[in-house]
Amino acid sequence: MSRFFATGSDSESEESSSADEITPKAPGTTLKQSLLLSDDEEDTKRVVRSAKDKRFEELTNLIKTIRNAMKIRDMAKCLEEFEQLCRAFLKSKNIVDKEGVPSFYIRLLADLEDYLNQLWEDKEGKKKMNKNNAKALSTLRQKIRKYNRDFETEIAAYKENPQESADEEDDKELEESGSSSDSEEEAGGEISAKSFLKKKPESEASKMLKGEKGSEDESSSSDDDEDEDWGEDSEESGSESSGEEDKKAYAAGAFLKQTLGSEKGKLKKTSKKRDKIKPRKRIEGEGEEEGGEEGEGGWEKVKYGVPLVKEKPKMFAKGTEINTAVVVKKLNEILQARGKKGTDRAAQIELLHALAAIAAEHNLGQGILVKIKFNIIASLYDYNPNLAAFMKPEMWKKCLDCIDELLDILFEHNDIFIGENIAEDSENLAISDQPFRVRGCVLTLVERMDEEFTKIMQNTDPHSQEYVDNLKDEGRVCGIVDRLLTYLENKGSTEEICRVYLRRIMHTYYKFDYKAHRRSLGLQGETKSEQDQEESEGEDSALIMDRLCKFIYAKDRTDRIRTCAILCHIYHHALHSRWYQARDLMLMSHLQDNIHHSDPPVQILYNRTMVQLGICAFRQGMIKDAHNALLDIQSSGRAKELLGQGLLMRNMQERNAEQEKIEKRRQVPFHMHINLELLECVYLVSAMLLEIPYMAAHEFDARRRMISKQFHHQLRVGERQPLLGPPESMREHVVAASKAMKMGDWRTCHSFIINEKMNSKVWDLFPEAQRVREMLVRKIQEESLRTYLFTYSSVYDSISMETLSEMFQLEMPTVHSIISKMIINEELMASLDQPTQTVVMHRTEPTSLQNMALQLAEKLGSLVENNERVFDLKQGVYGGYFNRDQKGGYQQKQSYQRDQKGGYQQNKGGYQRGGYRNQNQSNY
């Protein structure tokens, strides 16, 4: 064996023995040798680490550098390191996709953004910055705001519960440190000493750093400093040094490695206790900066992250004279922070309330108080920056209270003039001989309040008690609208009065006035208190609607308000069974001609009005009018969507997420919904009463048209069913009733349409349910009689009207009237014999066999015609290939055909199949 291999084996054996042996041997030369071997061991023996650990370590190192730069306010360094961090994060995208975004990364983004916002608001601090730092601050602030949009949900979750996020991260760090220490035990004594000494002074060192920084930042920065210190030590120990230093380092390594296990146990115990004990932070005072005693300061709970102490700004310095100018200046200071990112909106509202209290305490007049109230209400509306979000209950109550207080002030002091046209320079807020002039619009605030109420109702579960509780606030909302209406009638412009009238109408038009209905029927309250209440109440809703709508018709200059008022007026008429007024108003307005040019909310209101008009016509027995009014909505199959009562499932191609959000905001609150099952039942029953007699009259007519496609679809569905059991759903009841009516069996039809199940589902929902049921029975009897005569007229030579009257339980005049109309309209070939009161059939109708023969002849004729047309098309002598010229003759049309070479050849006189035959051989 060569010397080269021999030396190699010796070195290997030495390395393995040095790796296996832990206890040191005799000091002296062997000590130096073992030290050298451990240095070699560090060079040759490398720890295998995963890609995740490498990438995350790179990110952590960059984060530590950024945090150090944050401590010394080095914005240029922060910007440079942040750009590197973004690039490093992009490189580790594959790992992040698998593992998720690391919590320490989210924590840095949130802390950095808060830190930058704090620096940005500190104007004096910005002035002291040099040019590079100031420029880097603005650039970094823009970049972090843009970058954080991709992590909004994670940052929001972190900010909601930063304590848990930080604890989880600490636990992970401790686990990693534990695992790394285990691996380092195998590597050698010096490494384990290094890891132990690195962890040991963490908590103590963090306390010695700046008190205004959070404990997490302090520990990370101390770790960073210690890394540098220990790195230098390791380099020095690797170089030649004195024997005493080598002995100390070796002894420390050997000794500390054995104590690491017990230290790990302590660390695990502390990590478990962290879930129970919340960290507290010492408030730093002036004495602490100078090295004061710990007992002087208090304790305050803080959140993890970059702790930026936000002191509550004092209203006024001690000894400041409180006057109107000072309060207005302070108000403008508070309002300057409005809308900025990082502004605490709740604190801003509290400051405005405090300012209002100060103004009232010093009797600065109602002008300044009104201006502050305007800003408080506006701040409450701005509390939710997202347009789709709705106000929280406590904010909603505060808003209502503030608007009530504002209206109280305006009613008590008539010398306050408010308006949007008043410029801020011309405001008069101080107490003087002149009346107060305040810029603002109370109508806009009330309109926004009404919209917020609608949003609250849209976003509440309609089947919960919470919805009922929220709905009770509508009385208060209507009270505020009424008070504003009274105020504007005296001081407002015509346009403002029209706007507030429309708000009042929108809260009235869909409500059924039961008390007015009872008064119209001559009924009185059951108890004396109810009678007194009815007497004390004001005018009926019909009179209110009439007065408000007529004012808008006369004075409004905008089409939208007038259109909405007309539609609400028609809806209210239809709801209270005033069919003729509602129909006439709809026809006179001509809204159906140009409603498709309106915005979607107005179109939804139009659809709701048409549906209510159809239901009203049905209640009045106008079956044809009811069917025509409901036809467009029901035939579309999207009644729910067209009425603004919900969204149908669609493909993402038809509607993206943004459009879906917009459509959800247009939805009508649940208490304004129209019952869709009642609507469909009314439509199907109307279609049945029209379609069944028509089908019986034109049974053998091949060209008969369908009155209602949806009704025919339901009939086909019923016919396809292999087993016919008793009907369960509303549709099945209508189909079963239609089959009975076809046979002229009105009693069975009546039992399917009017029974306990249908009463509870549909008919009992009408205000005058009994009258509607009586009307339905009458219509079923009449239409069944017509169907019976159409179906069985060929069987009878004559039939007595008295028999028909008994069969269908109709009066003789009614039977006479129905048959007379059928004869006049030539629907029934018969005559009335007056003395005997019989109907004599004329036998002019063909029998069923003759009808079928006629149908066969028609179909054969059309088949022959189609066959000849196809044959002539092939031969080229069909009239479609000839055009009549202006002189009255015929001119042969020139046809062009494409050959196989891709060109076109002109053919005169006939039709040839180019490319297959009758072409030159050169084409093949």
Both tokens of 182, joined, read: 């285990």
Report d(CA 357, CA 363) in Å as an integer: 10
Convert 892-907 into a string of H (helix), E (strand) and C (coil): ECEEEEECCCCCEEEE
Q: Please check the confidence at residue 187 and state whether its pLDDT lies above 70.
A: no
Domain ranges of the chain: 51-160, 675-841
Least confident of 100-109, 777-786, 880-889: 880-889
Please state the rounded mean pLDDT for residues 32-61.
65
pLDDT band at 626 (very low <50, low <70, confident <90, very high): very high
pLDDT confidence of residue 530? 53
pLDDT confidence of residue 572? 95
Q: What is the pLDDT of residues 716-742, one digit of tens each?
A: 888 888 877 888 889 999 999 999 998
pLDDT confidence of residue 53? 85
Q: Please check the confidence at residue 33 and state whether its pLDDT lies above 50.
A: no
pLDDT confidence of residue 176? 47
pLDDT confidence of residue 242? 44
Report d(CA 104, CA 306) in Å as an integer: 12
State CA 165 to chain mean position distance.
Answer: 29
784 or 249, which is more confident: 784
pLDDT confidence of residue 299? 60
pLDDT confidence of residue 48? 76
pLDDT confidence of residue 300? 56
Percent of the chain with pLDDT over 90: 28
Q: Please check the confidence at residue 245 and state whether its pLDDT lies above 60.
A: no
Q: What is the pLDDT of residues 426-446, one digit of tens each?
A: 777 777 777 888 888 899 999
What are 428's strand-pairing partners?
Answer: 437
Please state the rounded mean pLDDT for residues 756-773.
89
pLDDT confidence of residue 277? 43
Helix (H) or strand (E) holding 882: strand 882-884
Q: Please check the confidence at residue 880 and state whether its pLDDT lies above 60.
A: no
Least confident of 387-396, 562-571, 654-663, 911-920: 911-920
pLDDT band at 26 (very low <50, low <70, confident <90, very high): very low
pLDDT band at 413 (very low <50, low <70, confident <90, very high): confident
pLDDT confidence of residue 491? 85
- φ, ψ at 700 (rounded to 5°): -105, 15
Both tokens of 551, joined, read: 């004012």
Residue whose token pair is 């506006």: 378
Helix (H) or strand (E) holding 459: none
pLDDT confidence of residue 418? 86
pLDDT confidence of residue 469? 92
Q: Please check the confidence at residue 319 and state whether its pLDDT lies above 80.
A: no
Helix (H) or strand (E) holding 301: strand 299-301
Please state the rounded mean pLDDT for residues 894-899.
44
What are 890's strand-pairing partners?
Answer: 884
Q: What is the pLDDT of residues 695-715, one digit of tens each?
A: 888 877 666 778 888 888 888
pLDDT band at 166 (very low <50, low <70, confident <90, very high): low
Least confident of 450-454, 530-534, 684-688: 530-534
pLDDT band at 690 (very low <50, low <70, confident <90, very high): very high
Please state the rounded mean pLDDT for residues 461-484.
92
Q: Please check the confidence at residue 508 and state whether its pLDDT lies above 80.
A: yes
Q: Which of 409, 394, 474 is nearest to 440 (CA)?
A: 409
Least confident of 164-168, 470-474, 662-666: 164-168
Q: What is the pLDDT of residues 302-317, one digit of tens each?
A: 555 544 444 455 677 6
Report d(CA 647, CA 638) in Å as an integer: 9
Answer yes or no: are the C-beta atoms of 111 and 306 closer than 8 Å: yes
- Is CATH 3.40.30.10 what the domain over 675-841 is classified as, yes or no? no
Answer yes or no: are the C-beta atoms of 644 and 666 closer than 8 Å: yes
Report d(CA 441, CA 421) in Å as an integer: 9
pLDDT confidence of residue 824? 92
Q: What is the pLDDT of residues 862-879, one digit of tens each?
A: 999 999 989 888 876 544
List Cα–Cα distances, 377 to 221, 401, 603, in angstroms. Answer: 45, 10, 32
Q: Please check the confidence at residue 489 and state whether its pLDDT lies above 80.
A: yes
Answer yes or no: are the C-beta atoms of 725 and 736 closer than 8 Å: no
DSSP assignment, residue 316?
A: S
pLDDT confidence of residue 820? 93
418 or 626, which is more confident: 626
pLDDT confidence of residue 474? 92
Please state the rounded mean pLDDT for residues 51-69.
89
What are 436's strand-pairing partners?
Answer: 416
107 or 907, which is more confident: 107
Residue 60 exposure: Cα atoms within 13 Å on the Cβ side: 15
Percent of the chain with pLDDT over 70: 69
Q: Please check the confidence at residue 177 and state whether its pLDDT lies above 60.
A: no
pLDDT confidence of residue 782? 92
pLDDT confidence of residue 438? 86
Q: What is the pLDDT of residues 282-304, one digit of tens each?
A: 434 433 334 434 434 456 555 55
Residue 531 exposure: Cα atoms within 13 Å on the Cβ side: 7
Please state the rounded mean pLDDT for residues 892-901.
43
Q: Please check the confidence at residue 191 and state whether its pLDDT lies above 70.
A: no
Tell me the DSSP string of 786-836: HHHHHHHTTT-SEEEHHHHHHHHT--HHHHHHHHHHHHHTTSS-EEEETTT
Average pLDDT over the chain, rounded to whole? 75
Q: Which of 697, 677, 741 is nearest to 715 (CA)?
A: 741
List Cα–Cα distances, 392 to 448, 452, 468, 486, 701, in angstroms. Answer: 15, 10, 16, 29, 64
pLDDT confidence of residue 201? 38
